Structure 1
Amino acid sequence: MTAKQLNLKTAPGHEVLAAAGKKILRPSGRGATETLFTWVDFQPGDTVLELAASFGYSAIALAQRYGVKVVGVEKNHESVARARTSVEAAGLSDRVDIREGDIFHLERISEQFDYVLGEAILSMQSGPGKAKILQGVGDRLKPGGQFLSHEMLAQGARIEALNRELATTIRVNTAPLSEVGWQAASEAANLTVQQHQTGPMALLNPLRIAQEEGLGTLLSLGWNLLVHPLMRQRILAMRRVFTEYGDDLGYIILRAEKLNDSLKG
């Protein structure tokens, strides 16, 4: 979606960033996700469910790199169409299936998977919303299957103020949890955290953008901020919050395993 198609005043922050040319919308960029993937042993033929697959970039990369089969669920019709075109162009129609659907209704997907991947999805949900999605994740995992997550982290005494600022600037009910909070939310859905790591937020770090997305992306972002005043206002407001709350805001990656039903209790 381009800046001309988007209502820059009201659109969620991630859509504004994408319209500006940002390709990686994870809290700590590509690096933390790469670390997350070192914690698992993907094998050819393993099955992965990706939440909010967007344009299919991650699904395609996973299939190409590891030989896994990926089902991506995405709510936006235009994104689904674009992702399917990219999958076909990559010659991966036999291994990547992008489906139009709602992550709040994962019960509509009949299969169970070896892995479920979610990045920067749960942070933008309310408490009940997080619980609903995580319950769906647990239901869609095979016994012993693993949930791989990369989310925003909020910690310290200013969490409530931080969440208010994030909701105002990002235009969604953004509510990242603390380290303990994310582990507890996972455990409540019968997902036992096996590994996790935390670190600083790097979503709008210019050096990180240049390193991971290329100088061309950084220059394109700069140009779009220059020629689109509303876009500049929205993105600089997000950057201000990230900077002001730099000691309280970060990322968390975690790997959680679904317990075998016989081991519950």
Structure 2
Amino acid sequence: MTTKPIIPESTHSAERAGGHWILARLGKKVLRPGGRETTQFLLENLSLTGATVVEFAPGLGVTARDILGKGPARYIGVDSDADACANVRAILPAGPHEVRNTNATDTGLESDSVDVVIGEAMLTMQTDKHKLELMREAARILKPGGLYGIHELSLVPDNVSTAVKEDIAKALARSIKVNARPITVPEWAALAREAGFDVINIRQADMALLSLKRNLKDEGLKGVFTIVRNVISQPDLRKRVLGMRKTFTEHKDHLGAVGIILQKRAQ
């Protein structure tokens, strides 16, 4: 029997909770901007079988379950939210796997000790300075040549103006109640290089988190039916979803999603 995940921020009012957790309350399981296909791009390019794998901010545990299905020698989840940690602990098989309830900038793991790090939809939520700190922690714990996969919001085109960037950041803060700071793909690559990585592969996708087509792919017909039913029956959550949808629609020409495979440079 599958245990129903605990939704982080479930005690927060609909007005205050982060937008991704609002969607989770409505039954949405895939909360990453590029959808399940971008997550699969990471998993297929990260050499997970037999590896020591660290996942930053596993959240509901959807990607964690997929990682574990690849047969890593060891899985380590790192999340500052106790509910998210409980979700992942509930699905861990027997073996040397663990979840650490701590900030991903301070994992407590030894330097040069893991093969793969993966993180989705977490760097976007940080300032550029904090993005770099998180990337540097990933670089610190990875063995030379180790792989780091990220899946984040992006801005398009590459020459998007500073004014548009600021407008989008403000709009996202209002609608999803999180200080999301998406950047362009070249800016993601530049941060990664500064943190000690080389870019190996990139997959760009539409940011279609609330589109019917994407949700049918990610959630299936039954899942979409559940989400729609909950949106109709819960007006406080419906108001938030409509606000997010309005923001995403207004800025659709400048919002994208990206998956990037990075490799730690040899020292």
Instruction: Please give the TM-score of this superposition, normalised by the length of structure 2.
Output: 0.89
In structure 2, the residue matched to 1:128 is: 129
In structure 2, the residue matched to 1:254 is: 260
8 Å contact kept, 1:56–1:98: no
**1:170 offset after TM fit, Å?**
1.1
Q: What one-letter code is carried by the residue in structure 2 that aligns with 1:204? A: L
Identity of aligned residues (%): 30
Find out whether 1:61 has 2:66 as its counterpart: yes
In structure 2, the residue matched to 1:94 is: 95
In structure 1, the residue matched to 2:110 is: 110
**1:4 offset after TM fit, Å?**
6.7
Q: What one-letter code is carried by the residue in structure 2 that aligns with 1:72? A: G
Q: What one-letter code is carried by the residue in structure 1 that aligns with 2:78? A: V
C-alpha distance in structure 1 between counterparts of 2:250 and 2:229, whole Å: 25
Q: What one-letter code is carried by the residue in structure 2 that aligns with 1:196? A: I
Map 1:74-85 to 2 at 5 A: 74-85=79-90
Map 1:214-225 to 2 at 5 A: 214-225=220-231
Instruction: Compare 138-147 and 97-106 and name the one that shifted more.
Output: 97-106
Q: What one-letter code is carried by the residue in structure 2 that aligns with 1:53? A: P
1:104-144 CA distances to partner (integer Å, 9 max, x unpaired)? 222x2236211100000100111121111111111111111
Gaps of 5+ in 2: 1-5
How many residues were matched structurally? 255
**1:260 offset after TM fit, Å?**
1.1
8 Å contact kept, 1:59–1:96: no
Find out whether 1:46 has 2:47 as its counterpart: no
C-alpha distance in structure 2 between counterparts of 1:8 and 1:37, whole Å: 33
**1:31 offset after TM fit, Å?**
0.6
C-alpha distance in structure 1 between counterparts of 2:47 and 2:109, whole Å: 24
Find out whether 1:190 has 2:191 as its counterpart: no
1:149-179 CA distances to partner (integer Å, 9 max, x unpaired)? 1100012232221111111111111001101
RMSD (Å) for aligned C-alpha atoms: 1.8
1:214-235 CA distances to partner (integer Å, 9 max, x unpaired)? 2122111112211222211111
1:46-82 CA distances to partner (integer Å, 9 max, x unpaired)? 1110001123332232122344421011222122223
8 Å contact kept, 1:152–1:177: yes
Q: What one-letter code is carried by the residue in structure 1 that aligns with 2:225? A: L
Return the structure number with greater helix share: 1
Q: What one-letter code is carried by the residue in structure 2 that aligns with 1:64? A: G
Find out whether 1:15 has 2:21 as its counterpart: yes
C-alpha distance in structure 2 between counterparts of 1:41 and 1:115, whole Å: 8
Report runs of 4+ in structure 1 exceeding 4 Å deviation.
1-4
Q: What one-letter code is carried by the residue in structure 2 that aligns with 1:193? A: V
The 1:138–1:119 alpha-carbon spacing in structure 2 relative to 1, beyond 3 Å, is same
C-alpha distance in structure 2 between counterparts of 1:113 and 1:159, whole Å: 35
C-alpha distance in structure 2 between counterparts of 1:145 and 1:239, whole Å: 38
2:178 to 166, 172, 176: 172
* Matched residue SS, 1:103: coil
8 Å contact kept, 1:54–1:80: yes
Gaps of 5+ in 1: none
The 1:32–1:128 alpha-carbon spacing in structure 2 relative to 1, beyond 3 Å, is same
In structure 2, the residue matched to 1:210 is: 216
1:205-251 CA distances to partner (integer Å, 9 max, x unpaired)? 12221222121221111122112222111111111111111110010
In structure 1, the residue matched to 2:3 is: none
* Matched residue SS, 2:131: helix
**1:95 offset after TM fit, Å?**
5.0
Q: What one-letter code is carried by the residue in structure 1 that aligns with 2:147? A: Q
Q: What one-letter code is carried by the residue in structure 1 that aligns with 2:264? A: K
